[in-house]
Structures are given as structure tokens and as C-alpha cells.
Amino acid sequence: MRHSLAVFLLLTLSACSLLDPLPDGSPQGSQQSAEEIYGLAKGELNEGNYDSAVKLYESLQSRYPYGRFAQQALLEMAYAHYRQGEAESAVADADRFIKQYPNNPHVDYAYYVKGLANFNGEIGILKSIGGQDPTERDPKAAQDSFAAFKELVTRFPNSKYAEDSRVRMHYLVNSLAQYELHVARYYLRRGANIAAANRAQGILSQYPHSPATREALGIMVQAYDALGMTDLRDDAKRVLAQNPGSSADALVAPEVAETTKKSWWQFWK
């Protein structure tokens, strides 16, 4: 008797779960396949309804955790979170995809979305510094973005996302160098000459090809002069004289590549 009652309750609960609506409000239906749920999610994604798309992708992964649609759902969920401006969630999705499906032919795209998500958090770094103590600015988003793009171009040099990633890496290097320059200026204005000189020296060693190097040398000349370190000052002057002035690259963030701006791509042919 107890056994029959337990079976009855189990069947009742299972039936109820099948009748629960999907995140978009449509009936779930016991016959709804992974492909059908994926189609609904893809439609929401293409319409820019990212929140609904994420919920549908989550439902797909919950009901059908294995197979190609579950993999694609995770990858597109990362993209949807990125488009929503939810960088942490996008990075978490991308990292999960990379960890679970390292041999997937589209893992390069996971690195790309990871880089883009952090890149979005970095854009406007110089504007945000204005009127603010630059030492309070955390460049971690820019560093993480650079690391993701670097991993992509190193592991997948022929990826269709590699060229755009290289452009962004160039921007990020210049941006990080400019950040360090702001910090060095900040120290110099406040008379922290040793800190200013060290920060400027860091620019030369970490970002030797960035436009910020010339001004970094100038800061070193001023800082060493104030400290009475004439030998180091003269060395910095000598290097500065050997490097003719050049116009700094404009820190204009590159546009998102067409393959990422549009959500109609379809990986699974």
C-alpha cells in the first residue's frame, strides 16, 4: 500500500513538472525536444530578448544536459550575458564552456566572448580617471581581457576572431600604458618622486612599444632630477633624445566585429 502511494505521488509530481511553462511562458509539453527549445531560445536571442533567451538556454541545459544543443546553448548564453552587460556571468559561461568542451571546434569563440566581456568593462578607462585618484582605478578588467585575447590568438592564430582580437590587444596595451602614465603623473604632482620614477620605468619594461614611453622618460627625468640622482637623470635624458617624438595613438576602442554584433550566426550546420 505504501509502495503504491509512493509511486502515485512520484508520477503526479513528474506530470506537474512537465506542465510547467517554459521561461517564455509557452507550455513545456512532454514532447518538446532539445532542438525545439533551442529554436525558441535562438529566436529570442535574434530579437534581442536576451533575458528570455538566457532562461530558455538554462531550461534546455537542465532538461537536456548532453549533446550539441546543450553545448551551443552554453556558448550563446555567454553571448547573451555579454550583450546584457553582465560581464561576470558572460565570463563564467565562457570559462565553463572552455573547461567542459576544450576540444569543441568553437572554443575559440568562447575565448573571444570572454575577452569582449572584460573589454566592455575596460572601455572608458581614461574618462573614468578624470577627477579621480588614478591609483584607485583597478585595471584588472583590461588585463583579463588582454589575457583572453592573447590565449585566442596564440592557440588559434587562424581563427576568424583572431584579427579583431589583435586589434583589441593593441588598444589594451596602449590603454594600460596610459593608465600607468596617469599614476606616474599623480605621484610626480604629489612629490612622490621615487614612486613616479618606478612607475614610469615600469612602462618602459612592460609596454616598450606604446606611445606612452616618451612621456614616461620625461617623468623619469623630472623625478630623478628632484631626487638629485643626476646619473639616472642624464641616462633618461639620453634615451629620450634618441627617441624622436611621435604622435600618440588615439585610444579609440575598436568596434565589435560583425560576427559578434549580429546574433544570426549558426555554428551547427
pLDDT tens track for 142-166: 899 999 999 999 999 999 999 999 9
More confident residue, 190 or 137: 190
Least trusted range by pLDDT, from 72-76, 185-189, 211-215, 261-265: 261-265
More confident residue, 245 or 16: 245
Which segments of the chain are extended strands (E)? none
Give the pLDDT of residue 120.
76
Work out the percent of the chain whose per-residue pLDDT is above 70.
Answer: 72
DSSP per-residue letters across 16-75 = HHHHSBPTTS-B--TT--HHHHHHHHHHHHHTT-HHHHHHHHHHHHHH--SSHHHHHHHH
pLDDT digits (tens, 9 = 90+) for 14-58: 434 443 555 545 555 446 899 999 999 999 999 999 999 999 999
Q: What are the chain's domains? A: 33-93 (1.25.40.10)
213: confidence class by pLDDT, cuts 50, 70, 90: very high
Q: Which amino acid is at 191?
A: G
pLDDT digits (tens, 9 = 90+) for 48-57: 999 999 999 9
Mean pLDDT value across the chain: 81
pLDDT digits (tens, 9 = 90+) for 94-134: 999 999 999 999 999 999 999 999 887 655 444 555 555 54
Question: Cell numbers 579621480 label which residue?
Answer: 132
Among 73, 116, 58, 88, which Cα is nearest to 259's?
Answer: 116
